[in-house]
């Protein structure tokens, strides 16, 4: 599912509303892939295979939950979209704009045609945020690009209607529009991209900020945060305004912390802060060896076993009742990762050994 770096289907709304975000996003290192993104990619690939004729019973690499809650409902949605079986379609279609937007492209899940109606369909397999089809910038981006793409033109020739469809199991959302509306959207997109290329490209905050990778460094969001810190709660004219501001600031704060953590783990120093280990939790070095050591203390092991040996913290509570100490040779403290803390925090800074060795090797050269 390749998309251009300037603007793609998923970023079209942001770029149209905030052209200045294009330059900001290039300054932020890409986020690492997540399990949610990987699952989404896998399910998209499954749907492509199903639509190209592969039986769903062959998907042994999919979990029962993925089959029953995602793939089967998504496939069944086609009966609602195309009850007469007249839909002609292509899957995973590379769609692109002509000059001067030849570097703007994307990948559309389904491009098709049913009678005098062109079809643009997008699978959504996330269940955290429900997506509407009406005036959906991502679908309009795909429709506009597909109208210019040679192997998709057959779907749009002579049509009077375009159906933009979101299939987000168990929901199917359809918005019917016209080629004229899609042309108007394309003109908006062109103006936004031209604006984005200027040094003074405008910034604008709104709900399009939610998925923007550059929230952490956005001057508008920084300004909102500063004002929020300085404003006394008693002076707020309306808590409704405060809650709306919180909706903008919470994801911004999360992005700031994630960006700073990635930067510091790559060796970048940030004034007044350092990288420290998260609180370490004690674990058995070898659960079987620990069980044997505890048995040798003469303890009733039923107190220390459920289906497996109790955790260190739980076992310590049992031992305290018998006025016994943990077998120290069988316990180790392991941190779950790194976090950022002020320089005044008593915990020692994490040693960036790998970064230090890399810097040393460069000096040696």
Mean pLDDT of the chain: 83
The answer to whether the bond into 217 is cis (omega within 30° of 0) is no
The answer to whether residues 104 and 223 belong to one domain is no
* Contact predicate 108/162, CB 8 Å: no
Asked whether the beta carbons of 293 and 285 are under 8 A apart, the reply is: no
DSSP 297-342: TT--GGGTBSSSBPPHHHHHHHHHHTT----GGGEEEEE--EEEEE
**Which of the two residues, 342 and 74, has the higher pLDDT score?**
74
291 and 225 in a common domain: no
Q: What is the pLDDT of residue 52?
A: 87
pLDDT band at 211 (very low <50, low <70, confident <90, very high): confident
pLDDT of residue 155: 96
- Residue 357 is predicted with a pLDDT of 46
Considering the domain boundaries, does residue 7 fall inside one?
A: no
CB 71 within 8 A of CB 59: yes
Lowest mean pLDDT across 79-93, 264-278, 346-360: 346-360
Per-residue pLDDT, averaged over 143-158, amounts to 95
- Does pLDDT of 243 surpass 70? no
Q: Is 362 part of any domain?
A: no
Q: Of 65-74, 279-288, 297-306, 308-317, which one has max mean pLDDT?
A: 65-74
Chosen domain end from 137, 161, 196: 196
**Count: domains in the chain:** 3
pLDDT greater at residue 264 or residue 365: 264
Residue 142 pLDDT:
96
Q: Determine, yes or no, domain membership for 1.
A: no
149 shares a domain with 253: no
For residues 131-142, average pLDDT: 95
Per-residue model confidence as pLDDT tens digits over 25-75: 888 887 777 888 899 999 999 999 988 888 887 888 888 889 989 999 999
Per-residue pLDDT at 18: 93
Q: What is the mean pLDDT of residues 231-250?
A: 64
| Same domain as 187, residue 81 | yes
Q: Are residues 228 and 256 located together in one domain of the fold?
A: yes
By residue range, what is the domain housing residue 248? 207-264
Is 70 exceeded by the pLDDT of residue 238? no
4 pLDDT exceeds 70? no
Which has the minimum average pLDDT: 9-13, 279-283, 327-331?
Answer: 279-283
Q: Is residue 363 part of a domain?
A: no
Residue 125 near residue 38 (C-beta atoms within 8 A): no
- Domain of 171: which CATH number? 3.90.320
- Whether 327 is covered by a domain: the verdict is yes
Confidence of residue 360 (pLDDT cuts 50, 70, 90): very low
Mean local confidence (pLDDT), 203-212: 87
- The pLDDT assigned to 283 comes to 81
DSSP helix/strand/coil, 164: strand
Residue 127 is encoded by which pair of tokens? 């269940």
Report pLDDT for 362: 47
Residues 24 and 156 placed together within one structural domain of the fold:
yes
Residues 27 and 175 in one domain: yes
Let me know whether 342 and 214 are in one domain.
no
Calculate what percentage of the chain has a pLDDT beyond 90. Answer: 35
* Domain match, 120 and 23 both: yes
Name every residue whose Cβ is closer than 8 Å to that of residue 74 and which is 6 or more positions away in sequence. Answer: 43, 47, 123, 125, 167, 169
- What is the spatial distance between Cα 282 and Cα 310, in angstroms, rounded to a whole number? 12
Residue 201 lies in a domain: no
Least confident span in 26-30, 199-203, 346-350 = 346-350
Residue 6 lies in a domain: no
In-domain check, residue 212:
yes
pLDDT band for position 230 (cuts 50, 70, 90): low
110, 44 in Cβ contact below 8 A?
Answer: no
Same domain, 121 and 249: no
More confident residue, 353 or 327: 327
Please tell me whether residues 181 and 55 are part of one structural domain.
yes
Beta strands in the chain (DSSP E): 88-96, 105-114, 117-123, 161-168, 171-177, 273-277, 280-284, 331-335, 338-342
Looking at residue 193, its pLDDT comes to 92
End-of-domain residue from the set 145, 175, 196: 196
Q: Which of 22-26, 64-68, 242-246 has the lowest mean pLDDT?
A: 242-246
Which token pair is 5?
């770096």
* DSSP category for residue 31: P
Instruction: Give residue-wise pLDDT tens across range 74-124.
Output: 999 988 898 888 899 999 999 999 887 778 999 999 999 999 999 999 999
Mean pLDDT of 224-253: 64
The SS3 call for residue 192 is helix
Which of 221, 245, 264 marks a domain boundary? 264
Nearest alpha-carbon partner for 1 in 108, 76, 91: 108
Q: Are residues 219 and 287 in the same domain?
A: no
Give CA–CA dist 289/332, Å, rounded: 13
């Amino acid at each position: 599912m390749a998309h251009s770096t300037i603007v793609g289907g998923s970023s079209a709304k942001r770029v149209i509303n905030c052209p200045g975000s294009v330059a900001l996003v290039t300054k932020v290192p890409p986020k690492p892939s997540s399990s949610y993104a990987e699952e989404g990619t896998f399910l998209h690939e499954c749907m492509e295979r199903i639509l190209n004729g592969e039986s769903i019973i062959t998907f042994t690499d999919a979990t029962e939950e993925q089959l029953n809650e995602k793939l089967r409902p998504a496939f069944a949605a086609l009966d609602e979209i195309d009850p007469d079986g007249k839909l002609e379609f292509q899957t995973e279609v590379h769609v692109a704009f002509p000059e001067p937007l030849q570097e703007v492209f994307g990948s559309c899940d389904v491009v098709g045609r049913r009678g005098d109606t062109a079809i643009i369909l997008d699978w959504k397999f996330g269940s955290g945020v429900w997506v509407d089809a009406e005036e959906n910038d991502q679908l309009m981006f795909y429709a506009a690009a597909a109208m210019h793409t040679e192997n998709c033109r057959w779907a749009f020739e002579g049509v009077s209607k375009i159906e933009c469809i979101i299939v987000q199991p168990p929901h199917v959302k359809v918005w019917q529009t016209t080629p004229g509306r899609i042309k108007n959207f394309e003109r908006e997109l062109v103006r936004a991209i031209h604006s984005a290329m200027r040094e003074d490209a405008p910034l604008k905050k709104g709900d399009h900020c939610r998925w923007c990778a550059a929230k952490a460094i956005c001057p508008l969001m920084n300004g909102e945060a500063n004002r929020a810190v300085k404003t006394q709660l008693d002076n707020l004219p309306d808590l409704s305004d405060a809650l709306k501001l919180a909706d903008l600031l919470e994801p911004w704060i999360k992005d700031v912390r994630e960006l700073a953590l990635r930067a510091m783990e790559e060796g970048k120093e940030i004034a007044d802060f350092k990288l420290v280990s998260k609180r370490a939790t004690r674990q058995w070095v070898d659960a079987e060896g620990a069980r044997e050591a505890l048995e040798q203390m003469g303890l009733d092991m039923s107190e220390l076993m459920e289906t497996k040996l109790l955790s260190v913290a739980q076992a310590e509570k049992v031992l305290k009742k018998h006025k016994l100490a943990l077998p120290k040779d069988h316990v180790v403290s392991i941190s779950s990762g790194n976090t950022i803390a002020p320089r005044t925090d008593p915990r020692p800074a994490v040693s960036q050994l790998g970064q230090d060795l890399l810097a040393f090797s460069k000096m040696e050269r």
